[in-house]
Structure 1
Amino acid sequence: MHDTYLKIKTTMPPLNKGAIKRARVEMFLNETAVDPVAFSHQLTLIAAPAGFGKTTLARHALSGFENASGWFTVEEDDNVFSRFYGYLIQAIQSVAGFEHVGKTTRDFFRSQGLETMTDVDYTPALTALLNDLFDVTEPLRLVLDDYQRIDNQAIQTSMAYLIEHMPAHVHCIVLTRSDPPWPLHRWRAQGRMRDVRLHHIRFTFDEAKAWLETAASSPIEEGVAKTLYTKTEGWAAGLVLALQSLEMAEDPHCFLEQFAGTHQSIYHYLVEEVIRHWPDDTLRNVMQSSVITRFNTALFDFVTAAALGRQIIADLTQHNQFIIPLDDTGEWYRYHPLFADLLVHRLKQHDPTEPDRLRLRAATWHLAHHQPSEALAYARAAQDKEMMASIYENHLEGILQEEGPDGVRPVLDLDDALLKRHPRLIAYKALFLLVLSGGAGVEALLQMGEACRYTDTESQTLYEGMLAAVRSHYALYGNHFEEAVEHGRKALELVPEHHHFWRVGVEIFFGDVALFSGKPEEGLAFYTKAHLDVEAAGLYYPLMSTGIKQTYALLVLGRLTEAESLIESMFEIARQYHYARLGKIGSFWVMLGDIYRARGDFESAKTCIERGLSLSKSETIYWSWNHLFKLALSFSEGDIKTVEKIIRHLEQLNARHDLPKLVTAEVTGYKVRLALTRGAYEQAETLLGALGVQAGQAIPRGMEMTALNLVRLHIERKQYADAGQVLDVLEARALANRQKPLHIKVLLLKARLLIHTQDVTNAEARLEQALRHGADEQLDTTYREEQVATWSITKPVVSRLKQEGIALPASLGDSDHRQADAVHKPAPKPFVETLIEPLSIREEEVLALVAKGRSNQEIADTLHLSLATIKWHTGNIYGKLGVNSRTKAVAAARRIGLLDGLN
């Protein structure tokens, strides 16, 4: 994979030593945007038309602060959200001390799955970026040049969010020809920003005269200087060109009388006056190279098919004509935008097809230098869909990883003729349609794809594997599990090991098919393989997704100790790579809470689950799934009101977001439990029927836990034979799939059934088998929910097992608990009593003052920070402690000893 981010776009341009000095404006910028003491506002907006020297002004103002400043020159193709922030973060990371800032955010964008081709909330990633900025206390000046090129509303909204929440030591300087759609009036009223406008940066006569005296080859009369200044209206680019034209003019007085008009017309007139003196080959090559956004000698020569680049660049630089160096090494350059626009216009007049032909040459050069995103931008500008299709066919996965789903969305617009010439794109488009629309149009695409072939065996084998992967996904959408498995196996046989995009996707999907078909151990094997493949590829953020899958499969299998160990290892990775505050991490917390719930430690379970829900609130699907664990805890505690509240909440979420069946089926299962508790047996039967669980019919695969409610219903109705038949089926499946929690529940219900039929001996045998089966995992809640302690057969069974030294659940010990210490394993210190991510020194200071009852304003005054900064630190403290209020934060901090030693 090749990095598609060019360093030159985040390189601060060198100082232009011949530039016109504007000491009054530079002093203003020094006082408001450069000196860190003055970082009382977040933004300096420098807004003026082209050619007034915005870039030069900002660059000179930052002279001496180069090592503490980041620079991002924005281009048209940066309107992709992830690409924009990729460059923004690269600019920040170029500053010493900020090298690790934004890594979490960049990984988040690079690692988004195809599901994010639909709407996605990027707030967690931006929050992670802001948190990283808060963690570095050195001053940072961040310049965004040519920001007017951004028209992506999501970027505009997110930048406003970023600016409003930036820490006090970070200052953003935005250079633009037009105002961004931000709340500028409010920010001005709040003192958040300063403006530098046209009237600020337009040259005064004294400034223009001083520059003319130093730049002119011969003395300039004051009247001539005044004429040049008046006609250019203090416009920097016009003044520079006017002097060059004046010195080339055969009749200077005639020249001074003739040029006038708008900036645009003056500019065109002056450029024509300058370039008409150039040699033909120079003009021709400069015109051809004007289609390139930025160039070095090699790219210049390749596009122009000549070897004059080095000499032409040197000549233009020497005479300060239209060319802008982009680095201190003198390798990369760009033309002044007005000059480039004029030359492209002239090039089109000469030959309307030539600009696009030259852009395609530029695309070819970038492809040869492993820069597919740059090549794609030129192909798109040339409107060459054939080349775009070719680039996507060979580089789509790299572009997807670097730029996220927005970078590959144009594949959806490619027509069938193009797809047939680039068959792999058929598989990609079909996969995208599955994600976006659930399958509409996919079958037609697959049939078209199956009629296409590659001539070489290697390409054809990969292509067939890709189609099989899509077929597997498509079959699952129709709930055709066997067909999905068949195609999935074929895909894994055909797709080579190093093609992680397709293999990992199939492995995870295959694991889902197995898990939701009631085969969690088989699912775990696929999840583990996917986890190892992702790890081998060095993609640490996707490890969070595969880790969640693995952990859940372990919980379903009842391997709680392994699940807990995996969670702790994932927390370590999250801590190492700064993922600890992202939404996905919330799923690990709720699953850790479920382990404590299963062991009967409801207090630790509640703390973990609340922390997980707090983290994942911005990600609707994860948040809804995580609520199932709170639902389970509330039911285990007997808190029926909270159970009902969560059910209503999830049903409302489903109405708005169409939640996965995994979530909605679980919710229905708990509604069945509530109905059984109330004796509403007909309601319970109806709800079960809606899930396909009905008396006298085969139990759907994956509905085994739900089918236990059918057993409970049969027992309540004294349909003991029917209950026994269902239990036999469920026990066979539990044993075949090594599903311990299911087997224990089946054994307990068999014991309960045998008590009803007065078969005490066999009832005791089943209870004893269940207790032995769960001894190694310190289970307690399963037995508590079935009220085993109240059974008449329990005491003699417990007595026998105690004599053998078998560990028993706390709820089944002697009534006076005299033998509790001898019976139970010592409980480990809950992992919840540690922080996945430690508090920063500043957060510790804030927490100590919160514990003393200080208000946010009082804390801000004490620490000499802004109120917004204190609120930000407080929010971080809440997130790390997994709470949502000051009182809970202090209580949690005291419980785990965070306040010990803090003054």
Structure 2
Amino acid sequence: HGGPGAEPVGAPLAVVDALARHGAPFALFLDDFELITEPAVLGLVREIIDHLPRRGQLVLGSRSLPDLGLGRLRAAGALLEIDTEALRFSLAETQRFLQRPAEPAGSLPGGWLDELHRKTEGWVAALWLASMALDAVIARRGSVAEFIAQFSGSNRAVADYLAEDVLARQSPDVRSVLLRTSLLRQLTVPLAQALCPRQDVPRILAQLEAANLFLTPVGHDGAERAWRYHALFADFLRAQLVREQPDELARLHLAASGWYEAQGRAVPAIDHAIEGGDMPHALHLLDQHALAFLDQGRMRLLARWCAALPAALLRTRPMLQVVSLWATTLTRGPWEAMAQLQASGCADSADPAVQAHVHALQPMLLAMMDRVEDAAAIGRAHLARLPTGQPFADAVLGNAMAHVLGVLGEPQQAQRLLDVARRGQSGAGFNRMYSESLEGLLDLQQGRLRQATARFRLAVGATPSGSYQPTHGNAWAGVLYAGALYEAHQLAEAAHLLNVYLPLARDVGLPDHMILSHTMRARLAVLDGDIDAALQALTELEYLGHHRQLPRVVASARLERARILTLQGQRGPAAQALDRADDPGVWPRVALRQMNAHDVDDLLIGRLRWQVLHGDAGHAAQQAAEAAALAGHAQRQRRSLKLQLLQALALQRAGDGAAAAQLVARQLLPLAAAE
């Protein structure tokens, strides 16, 4: 319900699971689906489709084809498409619709009926509106012929006509309530009463609901029944309010904002303050709640508000500027955030609190831009200034530097920083997700897959929204959890998570997460026999690398393409693909670092894989043994395990089956058994 401490109604992934387990027949209706553009929401709907039980149906109403993989559903016979021609009523259907016993309009003569059908083109919404308008005409003994002659057939025109006609026949009190509450997305009796203190709101709302005028019930808002205005009428009522009472709009928004503020519901309070144009009050509310929302990881919400505020006004509140910077970082990526930071002047602020946030942002942004060496240099200097009295900033700096030091091969220092970051956390929230994810990465490097999986699972559920919320920025943990499940061969669960988290990871632009998520999607597609989908995922990854000037991402897409060709037995094309992936500016640097995306997938491993299958297996066995020893010395047990497995395969391929069996029995099986 919008307050920083509000409890979630339920996590969307849990809803997917609940629907999948539902035993009784059901149909889930989603109308106006063309309005949904958020990739994470589309991913969630794909999950619902993929996990619909045998007696479940999903019905979508949309004015455009949604991006839900309709071709695949069509080919599987799982899609029923009802196009515009099928939706239009025939003349006979129009006649039956208008001749229902309860419809006074049902006695239309044939000529008038033909004309009405022609003007509406058989669209049921227009016919329904026309029938309501005709009822009003007949009730006041007006001319039906004149109405039909003037009727345009457009939904908007009919809705406006009907609303104006119905509104004109309401009492002043009812009319006032309709207009003054039209700016609300949902209305309850207490909220409507706050906006209409002189009217008997409970009686008027009951009267409107009984007459089926304007209002649509939407369940409950807390303990109160809630309604919304029918979409066809809401725009008209709001426009009428602006025409008749232009000075009231801002006051009504402010009244709604105040009511929500008194109820402890900061989100709608801030929304109404912004919509009402009262930016100083919106800033006042944000001053009170922004850091709490930041700690929860509600970055998209904060980004939306900050984008709505005038830049000049935001510059008067340096702390809100840094909140905006955090939101930009975790919704639109580090490049835009770095440009915003440089233009903001926050780095030169004399405010210690602002400086604390800037010092946390700088190494995090540099690491996200794949500049870990620069992040380490600037971050070490900022660590010396801790604590600063800003818990969120201090925890992020500790977490970010733990990540950087882990990549640089200093796991003990990374662990120490994680421990420090944990001590400054206030429970569930963004930093807990961050810490758990990073500790899981350390576990994964050590080959402790079960422990890493448990940490990633905790990290995904670390925000107050449970296991998933697009506004809570935990794509960081979601992609890692999907990767751990993939490693454990829980492929359906991994794909389930990828559908939701890959779009978020792509938007934020974390290099390792982009590489992991897209290569994982490609591998899952290959396992499903869909090579085209696999290549599409890698093409998108390569494009993202070019677009964001990330050579490592480009090289990783090419490396994965080489892997597919290698395993397909295409010796020559695979070798050529490996050569294309061999970027001298990328792989020597990767070899000196411990990057999560390349722990068990880099150019060396790609070439060893090719050698085992298509080249000199004996030489590959020797190379793999040497690389495995180096990985073990660096305490990278997972990488060492991968290389020893390649060594065993190479020995077998070279004809030394006994040595291969001995290596598996002495080195690999004990490690595998422990997991």
User: Which TM class, normalised by the smaller chain length?
Assistant: 0.5 to 0.7
Tell me if structure 2 keeps the 8 A contact 1:586–1:615. no
Match of 2:102 in 1: 212
Summarize the alignment of residues 266-277 of structure 1 with structure 2, pairs less than 5 Å apart. Answer: 266-277=158-169
Residue from 231, 246, 259 that aligns with 1:365? 259
Match of 1:296 in 2: 188
Shift of 1:102: 1.1
Gap change, CA 1:361 and 1:575, over 3 Å in 2: closer
Amino acid at match of 2:233: F
CA distance in 2, matches of 1:564, 1:157: 27
Tell me if structure 2 keeps the 8 A contact 1:531–1:547. no
User: CA RMSD of the aligned region, Å?
Assistant: 6.2
Residue from 330, 339, 347 that aligns with 1:440? 339
Tell me if structure 2 keeps the 8 A contact 1:471–1:487. no
Match of 1:427 in 2: 322
Deviates more, 1:220-229 or 1:466-475: 220-229
Q: Does 1:174 align with 2:60?
A: yes
CA distance in 1, matches of 2:89, 2:674: 55
Tell me if structure 2 keeps the 8 A contact 1:475–1:483. no
Shift of 1:296: 0.7
Match of 2:27 in 1: 141
Gap change, CA 1:533 and 1:403, over 3 Å in 2: closer
Tell me if structure 2 keeps the 8 A contact 1:420–1:426. yes
Residue from 434, 450, 474 that aligns with 2:349? 450
Gap change, CA 1:159 and 1:517, over 3 Å in 2: closer
Q: Does 1:102 align with 2:9?
A: no
Shift of 1:101: 6.8
Tell me if structure 2 keeps the 8 A contact 1:228–1:239. no
TM-score, with length taken from structure 2 = 0.60
Q: Which runs of 5+ in 1 are unaligned?
A: 8-85, 94-99, 107-128, 454-460, 594-611, 629-640, 675-704, 710-738, 746-776, 785-815, 836-903
Secondary structure of 1:210 counterpart: coil
Tell me if structure 2 keeps the 8 A contact 1:616–1:623. no
Amino acid at match of 1:512: H
Summarize the alignment of residues 324-723 of structure 1 with structure 2, pairs less than 5 Å apart. Answer: 324-327=216-219, 331-379=225-273, 381-382=275-276, 386=280, 389-390=283-284, 392-396=286-290, 405-410=299-304, 411=306, 416-431=311-326, 432=328, 435-437=334-336, 439-447=338-346, 450-451=349-350, 462-470=353-361, 473=364, 479=374, 481=376, 483-496=378-391, 501-515=392-406, 519-530=410-421, 536-537=427-428, 542=434, 545-551=437-443, 555=446, 566-567=451-452, 569-570=454-455, 583-585=479-481, 617-618=520-521, 651=582, 662=593
Gap change, CA 1:437 and 1:827, over 3 Å in 2: same
Shift of 1:538: 7.0
Amino acid at match of 2:129: A
Shift of 1:413: 7.3
Amino acid at match of 1:466: H
CA distance in 1, matches of 2:554, 2:273: 41
CA distance in 2, matches of 1:429, 1:829: 51
Shift of 1:358: 2.7
Shift of 1:412: 5.8
Amino acid at match of 1:505: V
Tell me if structure 1 keeps the 8 A contact 2:130–2:158. yes
CA distance in 1, matches of 2:52, 2:486: 31
CA distance in 2, matches of 1:464, 1:351: 46
Cα deviation digits, residues 342-381 of structure 1 (max 9, x gap)? 2222222224454344334334433443444444554554
Amino acid at match of 2:88: H
Amino acid at match of 1:204: T
Tell me if structure 2 keeps the 8 A contact 1:584–1:616. no
Tell me if structure 1 keeps the 8 A contact 2:322–2:346. no
Tell me if structure 1 keeps the 8 A contact 2:129–2:162. no
Shift of 1:177: 5.8
CA distance in 1, matches of 2:49, 2:605: 49
Match of 1:766 in 2: none
Amino acid at match of 2:235: D
CA distance in 2, matches of 1:314, 1:380: 31
Tell me if structure 1 keeps the 8 A contact 2:194–2:255. yes
Match of 1:246 in 2: 138
Tell me if structure 1 keeps the 8 A contact 2:406–2:594. no
Tell me if structure 1 keeps the 8 A contact 2:556–2:581. no
Gap change, CA 1:237 and 1:569, over 3 Å in 2: closer
Tell me if structure 1 keeps the 8 A contact 2:334–2:365. no
CA distance in 1, matches of 2:32, 2:166: 26
Gap change, CA 1:522 and 1:3, over 3 Å in 2: same
Secondary structure of 1:193 counterpart: coil
Secondary structure of 1:331 counterpart: strand
Shift of 1:524: 0.8
Gap change, CA 1:145 and 1:465, over 3 Å in 2: same
Gap change, CA 1:441 and 1:172, over 3 Å in 2: closer
Q: Does 1:193 align with 2:80?
A: yes
Match of 1:315 in 2: 207
Tell me if structure 2 keeps the 8 A contact 1:287–1:347. yes
Shift of 1:425: 2.1
Match of 1:731 in 2: none
Q: Which runs of 5+ in 2 are unaligned?
A: 469-476, 490-514, 523-540, 542-551, 560-571, 607-625, 645-657
Tell me if structure 1 keeps the 8 A contact 2:180–2:196. yes
CA distance in 1, matches of 2:70, 2:408: 55
The higher radius of gyration belongs to 1
Secondary structure of 2:57 counterpart: strand
Match of 1:757 in 2: none
Secondary structure of 1:212 counterpart: coil
Cα deviation digits, residues 128-150 of structure 1 (max 9, x gap)? x5x88656665442111333433
Cα deviation digits, residues 503-535 of structure 1 (max 9, x gap)? 432221132354456643222112244467779
CA distance in 2, matches of 1:389, 1:139: 48
Tell me if structure 2 keeps the 8 A contact 1:616–1:622. no
Gap change, CA 1:387 and 1:356, over 3 Å in 2: same
CA distance in 2, matches of 1:644, 1:326: 60
Secondary structure of 2:339 counterpart: coil
Shift of 1:443: 4.1
Shift of 1:584: 1.1
Cα deviation digits, residues 672-727 of structure 1 (max 9, x gap)? 999xxxxxxxxxxxxxxxxxxxxxxxxxxxxxx99x99xxxxxxxxxxxxxxxxxx
Tell me if structure 1 keeps the 8 A contact 2:383–2:397. yes
Shift of 1:313: 0.5
Match of 2:173 in 1: 281
Tell me if structure 2 keeps the 8 A contact 1:551–1:567. yes
CA distance in 1, matches of 2:405, 2:667: 33
Tell me if structure 2 keeps the 8 A contact 1:625–1:663. no
Match of 1:638 in 2: none
TM-score, with length taken from structure 1 = 0.47
Shift of 1:405: 4.4
Shift of 1:332: 0.8
Amino acid at match of 2:152: G
Gap change, CA 1:4 and 1:383, over 3 Å in 2: same
CA distance in 2, matches of 1:781, 1:285: 70
